[in-house]
Structure formats: structure tokens, C-alpha cells
């Protein structure tokens, strides 16, 4: 059966074990991905979260209200079949990490970036064996080749579900280092997200908040937190 039914047709939503993990059952029938693959996830926590999303659907099934199911579908239908390409795309952030590109003025912003971002770069040296250097301005400067290779290897080591969550952490923050700080539990999602928005927050202090922009910020904040939760909920994926 298709994972995305137009109308609700089932009465009971449950979680069951499957080869390789856990699955959602609708009246005892396993849900499949849009590409018709078995929707099997590596942890019960993920399966229970998906089941909760399916269970609250009423007349029409709304995929936009099912983020855990959507991410799981992506892990199976997209990331697992192009793992190397996704990993390479994310690893490229290591040579242009957000935390490395610093303002040249005003002095207060320069200081704030150094005080907030330098400790995370120092953590990467100790925990990841990665040393990235800050750059003044926006012109690209190549990073240490060993560090770039190390980051690439670390990204490629993620299994598909992990890489799916990691993709969102990196692409939303613009930083491999912040994403690794979250997956290594050095930072929680809220702290990492605030660090990624340091420049934006500076502008808000100067000019105030734009109400329309705030709606998008709130959505991104939730999406970033979901990606962090998703990664943690996977457990020991192999």
C-alpha cells in the first residue's frame, strides 16, 4: 500500500517490529514510502513518533503535518540511494564553515563573534581533531587539508537516517562544526541555533524584528530542533 493515502482509511495505528528495525502499522498493514519501499526505521522512538503523526490524521492525510514520517521517507527513498553525493555536499561546508567567516566591523560584532564562536572551534580541535581558522571578511580561504579530510570522513561515516538529520542541521545553520556539536551533545539544539543566528540577532538588536521574518525564523527554529531530536532518537544506527 502507498504511504501517502489521500483519505484516512484505517482505524488503528500501531508500531511493530520489522527486519532491520520498526514500522508503523495501519490496521495491521505496514506503511510504505512514496517509492513503495518498506518504511522501516532504526528505532522504536522514531516509529512511535511516526505512529503519533498518522494517528492524528483525520479525513485527509496531510504530509506537511508529518515531519518525522517525511524525514524517514527521505532517508530511505533519497539519502540511502545517493549517500555519497549527499555526504560530499555536506562535507563541502567544512571549507567554508559559518563560524570561520568574521566581520571586520563594528568592533562590538567582531568581539561577539570571537567570544561565541571561538570556543566551538576550540572544541572541534579537542573532540574532532579538526582545526579551522577564522577569516576576516567574506573572501574564501582554504582550510587545513587534514581538517577538511577529517570532516569529510566523519560525514561519510553517518548511516542514512543519521545523514538525513545531519543534512538539516548543517544546511540550516551553515556550519558543519555546529552540527557536529549537536550530534556529539556538546550543544543542545537551541544553543547551536542561536549561535548560527548571531549576525541576525545582532541586526535585530540594532533595527528591531521584522514580524513577517519572525514567522519564518520560528518555523526554522522548530525544524532545527526536530532534526536534532531525530538524530538523537535514531540510537545506534548501523
160 in a domain, yes or no?
A: yes
Same domain, 152 and 34: no
78 in a domain, yes or no?
A: no
pLDDT at position 237, please? 60
Q: What percent of the chain has pLDDT over 90?
A: 82
Same domain, 31 and 120: no
What are 181-226's pLDDT values in tens digits? 999 999 999 999 999 999 999 999 888 888 778 889 999 999 999 9
* Dist CA 161 CA 199 (whole Å): 31
Domain that holds residue 32: 13-58
Please report, for the domain that includes residue 179, its CATH number: 1.10.3580.10
Helices (H) and strands (E) in the chain, counts: 10, 6
pLDDT at position 1, please? 39
Higher pLDDT, 5 or 159: 159
* Dist CA 97 CA 86 (whole Å): 17
Same domain, 214 and 99: yes
What is the value of pTM for the model shown? 0.93
Same domain, 32 and 103: no
User: Which residue matches cell numbers 550530534?
Assistant: 183
Amino acid at each position: 500500500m502507498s504511504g501517502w493515502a489521500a483519505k484516512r482509511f484505517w482505524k488503528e495505528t500501531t508500531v511493530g517490529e520489522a527486519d532491520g528495525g520498526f514500522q508503523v502499522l495501519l490496521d495491521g498493514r505496514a506503511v510504505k514510502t512514496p517509492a513503495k519501499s518498506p518504511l522501516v526505521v532504526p528505532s522504536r522512538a522514531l516509529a512511535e513518533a511516526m505512529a503519533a503523526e498518522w494517528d492524528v490524521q483525520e479525513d485527509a492525510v496531510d504530509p506537511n503535518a508529518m515531519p518525522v514520517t517525511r524525514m524517514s521517507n527521505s532517508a530511505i527513498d533519497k539519502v540511502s540511494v545517493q549517500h555519497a553525493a549527499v555526504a560530499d555536499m555536506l562535507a563541502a561546508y567544512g571549507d567554508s564553515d559559518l563560524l570561520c567567516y568574521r566581520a571586520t566591523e563594528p568592533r562590538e560584532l567582531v568581539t561577539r563573534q570571537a567570544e561565541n564562536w571561538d570556543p566551538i572551534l576550540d572544541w572541534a580541535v579537542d573532540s574532532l581533531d579538526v582545526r579551522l581558522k577564522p577569516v576576516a571578511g567574506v573572501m574564501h580561504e582554504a582550510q587545513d587539508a587534514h581538517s577538511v579530510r577529517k570532516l569529510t570522513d566523519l560525514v561519510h561515516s553517518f548511516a542514512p537516517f543519521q545523514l538525513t538529520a545531519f543534512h538539516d542541521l548543517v544546511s540550516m545553520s551553515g556550519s558543519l562544526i555546529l552540527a557536529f556539536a549537536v550530534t556529539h551533545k556538546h550543544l543542545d539544539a537551541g544553543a547551536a541555533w542561536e549561535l548560527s543566528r548571531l549576525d541576525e540577532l545582532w541586526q535585530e538588536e540594532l533595527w528591531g524584528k521584522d514580524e513577517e521574518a519572525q514567522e519564518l525564523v520560528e518555523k526554522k527554529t522548530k525544524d532545527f530542533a526536530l532534526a536534532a531530536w531525530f538524530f538523537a532518537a535514531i540510537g545506534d544506527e548501523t
